A and B are shown apart, each in its own frame.
Chain A
Amino acid sequence: MTITSFPIWFVDVVGSVLMIVFSFISVGYCLQLKNKAPTDIIINYLLWVCVALAVFAISRSAGHLLKQIFLLIDRRDLWTAIQPFSGAVNTFTFIVVASVTLFFERTWAIYGTILKDRQALQNAHEELLYLNQNLEQLVEKRTEALVISEQKYRRIFEVSKDMILVTRTDGRIVNLNPAGEQLVGITAAGDGNLEGRFFQSFLSHPEDWNVISRHIEDHGFISSAEFDLILEGDARRRVLLSGSLSRNPSDEGETIHFLIKDIEQRRLMQKQMAQADKLASIGELSSGIAHEINNPLGIILGYTQLLLRSEPPHSDRFSDLKTIEKHVKSCKAIVEDLLNFARTSSPQKENLDIHVVISEVIGFVRHHSNLENIQIETVFAPDLPLVLMDEKKIKQVLINLLMNAIHAVGRNGTITITTGLNESASRIAVEVSDTGHGIEQENLLRIFDPFFTTKPTGEGTGLGLSVSYGIIKGHGGNITVKSEPGRGAAFTIALPTTAPLSGR
């Protein structure tokens, strides 16, 4: 086929010129880029490629132009001489471009890592520089923060109302806060030295320490466990103990941090509430029974007294009926006591001076009992306010308490009646204490129960204290007992005062 060669010639010539121009412009751009970032490996790669392509463009395009010129002037021989050299340069430039491209990716990856490391080093350097320049200030700031923190936690330690204790794992006390010292009775003036003391020595049962330490060893902590502490004078105090092992060992080993809360008051209150509940239930039951029995007893007593009228005195039948009358009266007295305990009858209250009432009761008791070697002492607080009370019932309570005290002291002893005022609670207190044999611990909880008595059969009904309890509760007051075997007993009555301490 015959075809025009002009397009080939045109494309060849124009293309060759453009190749040279574009490649050199590219090299120029690359050089500018390299000036901006001389160490940038990517720019270096592009520069290599552009230079190789520029060489290729010169070699090939100049070759092509020369070829056209030589062919036009009919000097093919010159072209034949140059052609191999041009071709070899072209081949070489291809290989250069291909080679740098092949290594480009690997170099790029390494360069990326280097850049990342350089950035990290730069950051570290900047940080070090900052620390170096501001070290003094930073240390000062940190120290200040530490002092504030120390003060904050020291304050918590010092002012806490609960006991905070730090011990070694063997129980050796490291630190104890003032509340703790106060609780266990360690004073700076006294045995304030905690050196070498062990926490287990403050436990009422030292073997409890094994339970505590084993639990902490197994679980790393102990939470809200109840134990008894021994206080000064062998008193015991119920506490709620929580503690945890400090996993951050100091130079001297691990420590256990305890928080110990005194729950004695709460426990006593719970006990009292349980007791009050129990007595209220018994009272309800008793009043039900008493009402049911009271009516038949009234009928029996009435018919007995009717029969007695028609019987001649000194007859056997009269004597029998008298016996029935006596026992029925006795039963009625018990039933009335039960009703008093259950507070079914409303008291006839009036404002009275408790000291006058106490004095009258003491006089009555002295008159009716043999008190040869028994001292009754009174310690009356001055200016006690008047108390709204049912005189008869309060007297009954005081008589009950005094008679019990007399019975407890036996032949020799002292009974003390002390009065006092608790202004904050607006209550007066009357304490009847004796130097008698005291009350056993197990009996203390049952002492206000109806029909509970430690007296021999026939000597007491066991209703005296129950009735007293009912009467005091009926007055909105409270009656408590404290006793230790061999050290006597003390009953305390608390009664509300009449409006704002103004009796006199």
Chain B
Amino acid sequence: MGKRSRYIIAVMSFLGILLIGSPALATQGHAGIEGVWVHQFAHIFFLFSMGLLIFWLRQAGLVKEPGWRYIQYAALFFILWNADAFLVHLLDEQMLAVTVTQVRPWHVRLDAAGGREWVALLYYMVKLDHLLCVPAMACLMLGLRHMLQESHRSRPDEESRR
């Protein structure tokens, strides 16, 4: 079979699929698990961008300044928090690995799939994600405060130079 014949057959097959197939709707639906996927991608994107931020800050030597050093720590905590949140969503909504049941006030029972208790314990630990995102936010705040103080300090210097 010649090269040209194979090309014609491929084009005809593609057109056949398009024309013979069942009628398609104009827009795609986004219900169900798709939202979780998008959210997970967003976490990964966030994590990746924070990694890049740390890299650039170090490359530019900005981490020598206290303000930017705090922002670097904030980025590090955000990376850890994203990883934590990603794991929670994975266990909770994608793998459905753990079932949570309220047994009495302020007590819950964690049932891990396959009776793996460590998964239940891991789930419990990663649920405490504010222990990561609050320090991240605090570091960001401290960094900005340093930068503000620095700008207050440098302003009178500039004025005195004039």
Contact = CB atoms under 8 A, between A and B. Distances in A.
Interface string B50-67: 101100100010000000
Interface residues of B, number: 43
Contact of B35 (A36, A49, A84): A84
A14 interface: yes
Nearest to B133: A19
A3 B101 CA distance: 10
B52 A7 contact: no
Given A91-B38, A101-B53, 16 more contacts: A2-B110, A3-B110, A5-B107, A8-B127, A8-B128, A9-B106, A15-B129, A18-B130, A22-B134, A22-B138, A25-B141, A29-B148, A33-B151, A91-B42, A92-B42, A95-B42
B49 A97 contact: yes
Contact of B108 (A3, A14, A33, A91): A3
Contacts of B140: 22, 26, 49-50, 53
A36 B131 contact: no
A3 B112 CA distance: 13
Nearest to A53: B137
A235 interface: no
Contacts of A37: 151
Q: Do most interface residues of chain A lie in helix, strand or loop, or is the interface mixed? A: helix
B145 A19 contact: no
Contacts of A4: 106-108
Contacts of A87: 35, 39
A16 to B, nearest CB: 7
Contacts of B48: 98
A499 B109 CA distance: 139
A29 B35 CA distance: 34
Contacts of A7: 128
In this complex, the member of B53, B134, B147 whose beta carbon has the largest number of chain A beta carbons within 10 angstroms is: B134
Interface in B15-66: 35, 38-39, 42-43, 45-46, 48-50, 52-53, 56, 60
B109 A98 contact: no
Interface in A17-41: 18-19, 22-23, 25-26, 29-30, 32-33, 36-37
Given A8-B124, A87-B35, A105-B52, A14 B130 contact: yes
B144 interface: yes
B12 interface: no
Contacts of A108: 56, 60
Contact of B39 (A12, A36, A90, A99): A90
B49 A98 contact: yes
A188 interface: no
Interface residues of A, number: 47
Given A33-B147, A94-B46, A26 B141 contact: yes
Contacts of A81: none
B45 A2 contact: no
B128 A11 contact: yes
Interface string A41-71: 0000010011001000100000000000000
Contacts of A2: 103, 107-110
A102 interface: yes
Interface in A266-318: none
Contact of A33 (B35, B131, B137, B144): B144
A1 B110 contact: yes
Contacts of A46: 71, 144
Interface in B81-119: 102-103, 106-110, 117
A447 B49 CA distance: 107
A88 interface: yes
A101 B147 contact: no
B120 interface: yes
B109 A97 contact: no
26 contacts: A1-B110, A2-B103, A3-B107, A5-B106, A5-B107, A6-B106, A15-B133, A15-B134, A19-B134, A29-B141, A29-B147, A32-B148, A46-B144, A53-B137, A53-B140, A84-B35, A88-B35, A94-B42, A94-B45, A95-B46, A98-B49, A99-B49, A101-B49, A101-B50, A101-B52, A102-B49
